[in-house]
Amino acid sequence: MTEPVDALPFDLRSLEIFLAVCKSGTMAGAARDLRMTQPAVSLSIAELERKTGTNLFDRTVRPLALTPAGGLMRQRAGALIADARQIGPLLRETRKGRLPLIRAGLVDSLNRALAAPIARFLASRADEVAVLSGLTAMHASELLTRRLDLFLGVDDLEDLPGLERWELVREPYVLALPRGSSTVRTILDLKKLAKAKPLIRFTARSQTGLEIERHLRRLQIDAPRSLEFDTPYAVAAMVASGEGFAITTPLCLAEALISARAVEVTRLPGPKISRKLTIVARQRELGQIPRELTEACRKALRGLGLAELQFDA
């Protein structure tokens, strides 16, 4: 009978035996440590090598040496076994109604608004909480590799299965100009502005920066690349100092905490575009926590008094 295409080439017991051989340097030593027979250990290693399709040990030397593939296997196997041994204690903790640890990623344009509310909410559900700020792309990668349990960002990873998504808020993109700038009402005005002054960009590493660039291409606006930044504060500060103009959002401006006397905010000419902020978690792993966190975050955002924010009913 052929094995399923997606069958794992090992089980946890075979990994434990493999690690024991790595530690002792001999099959006989691993057998003593595990209270097994040496033939049973040898058979397990041979089967592991057959299923992975590679030699894990160099048997021409004593004690046994790992091949490059064996070194990679030892690194990953150690992490898998360590995680597996935590499952029992974690399950006992969840029976008490709390998780031992929740790690949340937060897009950096919401730090001021939501870092504290998120931390307070999660602290009521877990013994240890980590709230990490940064770019959405970084958080998305860390969610998929299980370095985060959920994230709040601009990309909801709609093409990936196995995730649950809770829309938090939508907000329009707006135009930020230095005080005293000429009025920009039409797309033609915006094109003239892009030729006369630098566009202060959000980096293309950010989802916000990518969305703005796509919109400019749709409008056929060629804004020369000059200055770009990772943070809402840097973008707004450059506009406030008269270095150029920016396309940004109300929440980004609130995060920047730049005086309204220094920056003039107007509607972005042309078709309306907005960005959507979403909480993303692995499906059904955190129970009601993502939904309840969404409500807590919405309450905090409503408290900012920004009329441009759009919440689902």
The string of DSSP letters for 46-97 reads HHHHHHHTS--EETTSSS-EE-HHHHHHHHHHHHHHHHHHHHHHHHHHHTTT
What digits encode the pLDDT tens for the residues 151-173?
999 988 888 888 999 999 999 99
Peptide bond into 63 cis (omega under 30): yes
Return the percentage of the chain with pLDDT > 70, whole number: 94
The mean pLDDT value for 79-100 works out to: 70
The DSSP H or E segment spanning 283 is none
Pairing of strands 57-58, 227-229: unpaired
- Asked if 129 contacts 104 with a C-beta cutoff of 8 angstroms, the reply is yes
Enumerate domains of the chain plus CATH numbers: 12-92 (1.10.10.10), 98-171+275-302 (3.40.190.10), 174-272 (3.40.190.10)
The DSSP H or E segment spanning 227 is strand 227-229
What's the token pair of residue 83? 């995680």
- Asked if 137 contacts 155 with a C-beta cutoff of 8 angstroms, the reply is yes
Q: Taking 90 as the threshold, does the pLDDT of residue 102 lie above it?
A: yes
Let me know if 252 is exposed, middle or buried by CB neighbors in 10 A (0-12, 13-18, 19+).
buried
Provide the residue type at 266 as one letter.
Answer: T
Nearest to 154 by CA among 208, 112, 110, 105: 208
What is the reported pLDDT for 10? Answer: 82
The whole-angstrom separation of Cα 185 and Cα 157 is 34
What digits encode the pLDDT tens for the residues 167-201?
999 999 999 999 999 999 999 999 999 999 999 99
What is the reported pLDDT for 88? Answer: 67
Return the percentage of the chain with pLDDT > 90, whole number: 69
The DSSP H or E segment spanning 44 is helix 38-52
Angle (CA) 118-121-125 rounded to 5° is 125
Confidence category of residue 313, pLDDT binned at 50, 70, 90: low
Measured N-to-C along each axis, helices 27-34 and 38-52 cross at an angle, to the nearest 10 degrees, of 110
What is the reported pLDDT for 91? Answer: 62
Nearest to 139 by CA among 110, 106, 181, 115: 106
Q: Which residues contact 311 (CB under 8 A, 6 or more apart)?
A: 169, 298, 301, 302
Measured N-to-C along each axis, helices 27-34 and 12-24 cross at an angle, to the nearest 10 degrees, of 120
Compute the Cα dihedral for 107, 112, 117, 122 and give only its sign.
positive
How much is the mean pLDDT over the chain? 90
What's the token pair of residue 243? 């270095």
Q: Taking 50 as the threshold, does the pLDDT of residue 5 lie above it?
A: no
Q: Taking 50 as the threshold, does the pLDDT of residue 143 lie above it?
A: yes
Question: Which of the residue ranges 43-57, 61-75, 86-100, 188-202 would you say has the lowest mean pLDDT?
Answer: 86-100
What is the reported pLDDT for 85? Answer: 75
What digits encode the pLDDT tens for the residues 103-132?
999 999 999 999 999 999 999 999 999 999
Total length of the chain? 313
Nearest to 89 by CA among 81, 99, 77, 103: 99
153 or 75: which leads in pLDDT: 153
The mean pLDDT value for 216-238 works out to: 93
